[in-house]
Amino acid sequence: MQNDIKKKLQNELDNYLQSKANFLPYYPGMNTLSSDLYKEQLKEALELIKKQSDADIRNFEMYLDTIIVNMQTKIKKYKKSTYFDNENIKDIQNQGFTIPFYIDEEKNLYILLGIVPSLATL
């Protein structure tokens, strides 16, 4: 299962690096972009959380938004991704999920590659 996740994340990174996909801003005007895989996996994560409680969804989304909006100012806080051997790819841990993101220093962009259950929960 982890190899499948890693392949999907690598595919999103390759799509970005080869300009094969249109990555949209997380919020308009932000230099944080979301991959299609991130959007798809976020929907799946929200469905899992919804089974537990609607209040949990609101808390999860609010906290996730706060983390992503502020991630650029806390970039040194995040460790190198467990999915990649690349210092420009970091992981955000949030409530049982891992969000690998790529730092494009040249373009000053942050690319959300996906959102997957943390390795400890797999």
Q: Is 116 part of a structural domain of the chain?
A: yes
**What pLDDT is attached to residue 66?**
94
- Mean residue pLDDT across the chain: 91
pTM, to two decimals: 0.90
CATH of the domain at 108: 3.30.2310.20
**What pLDDT is attached to residue 29?**
87
Q: Is 89 part of a structural domain of the chain?
A: yes
Nearest partner of 116 among 33, 48, 20, judged by Cα = 48
Structural tokens at position 70:
């502020």
Q: Is 17 part of a structural domain of the chain?
A: no
Alpha helices in 18-74 (DSSP H): 36-50, 54-70
Q: Is 2 part of a structural domain of the chain?
A: no
Structural tokens at position 47:
């469905």
The DSSP H or E segment spanning 85 is none
User: pLDDT over 90 for what percent of the chain?
Assistant: 70
Predicted confidence band at 80 (pLDDT cuts at 50, 70, 90)? very high
Q: Is 87 part of a structural domain of the chain?
A: yes
pLDDT tens-digit map of 96-117: 899 999 999 999 999 999 999 9
Number of domains within the chain: 1
Q: Is 63 part of a structural domain of the chain?
A: yes
Residue 41 belongs to domain spanning = 31-121
